[in-house]
Amino acid sequence: MPMTEPEMTEPEIDHVTTPLLDMAYIAGGPADGPPVLLLHGWPDDAHTWDRVAPALWAAGYKTVAPWWRGFGPTRFLSSQTARSGQMAALAQDALDLANALDWQRFSVIGHDWGARAAYFLAAVAPDRLCRIAALSVGWEPGSLPTPALPQAQSYWYQWFLTTERGAETVCHDGKAFARHQWDNWGPAGWYEEAEFERTAAAFDNPDWAAITLHSYRVRWDEAKPDPRYAELERRQRATRTLSVPTLMIQGGDDRCTLPATTEKAAGHFTGPYRREVLPGVGHFPQREAPEAVNRLLLDFLGTETATP
């Protein structure tokens, strides 16, 4: 019997205090279900999982989908905290959130920035994770290498953000800059205007531009990392393989992360690993093809149980 797309819902927004953040999130599913953390990417927000979470709830999982630092209702507790967008900071935020929720072990499903954070967690805290599913981003050990020229061309926006004119653009016209990525990262017409407008509201966060700029600048060594995360960064760079069971979902028509860049990652995983390509799908599989993504996720998670 074909799977029908889960109905859109409007769950309430919850908040939890972590060491650095008042972190906002959307929660759902049975209270005693295996916990799953849903991590969004850029430029996106926690609602990216609105057509995925209900399928997980129906299968017995409980989910928490936070807004990253700099997005939506999430706020820093102190004006003195560095507005770092490095992956170590996001991974630590995710761990802090899990700790605040009293989750000892959990699974992670991440897209884009969320996928990078999931890999980071698998490198530095594998004992905390049951499984990870990474959408639209592959993994390789160590620091990010300079990409091959076709991928470098697709990453034009990242290079642009290392310039002062790029910074001016994202600070003064960030919504238009984000829309340009949505328009060009997948097949024409893949999203509805209302979907983008709802998501773009999350970019009104006062720290969104700063987090965006630092994240891409520090990624390519064009900004100083926050020393708070030096040890985490060291541990991540030292990790050569990942042992956590991993599912990688790649859009076959992804024009941001080119499919060819994720083809040969299997050798970097000692745990179970599989890569699934969705033909005709761009950079946002969970938004563009939720039914296909849900099938893959539910099959991957299976009867996984964890102690919350």
**pLDDT attached to residue 20:** 98
**pLDDT attached to residue 3:** 47
Q: Which of 14, 18, 128 is nearest to 63 (CA)?
A: 14
**pLDDT attached to residue 5:** 46
d(CA 31, CA 238): 37
d(CA 210, CA 111): 21
Main-chain phi, psi angles of 139, to 5 degrees: -135, 140
List average pLDDT for each run of 10 residues in the chain, which is 308 residues long. Answer: 45 92 97 97 98 97 98 98 98 98 98 98 98 98 94 98 98 98 97 98 98 98 98 97 98 98 96 98 98 98 55
Written as six digits, the tokens of 218 are 């520090």
d(CA 171, CA 174): 6
Main-chain phi, psi angles of 23, to 5 degrees: -95, 125
Three-class SS state of 13: strand
**pLDDT attached to residue 87:** 98
**pLDDT attached to residue 12:** 75
**pLDDT attached to residue 10:** 52
pTM of the predicted protein model: 0.94
Written as six digits, the tokens of 129 are 């994770």
**pLDDT attached to residue 303:** 46
Three-class SS state of 271: coil
Q: Which of 89, 90, 74 is nearest to 17 (CA)?
A: 74
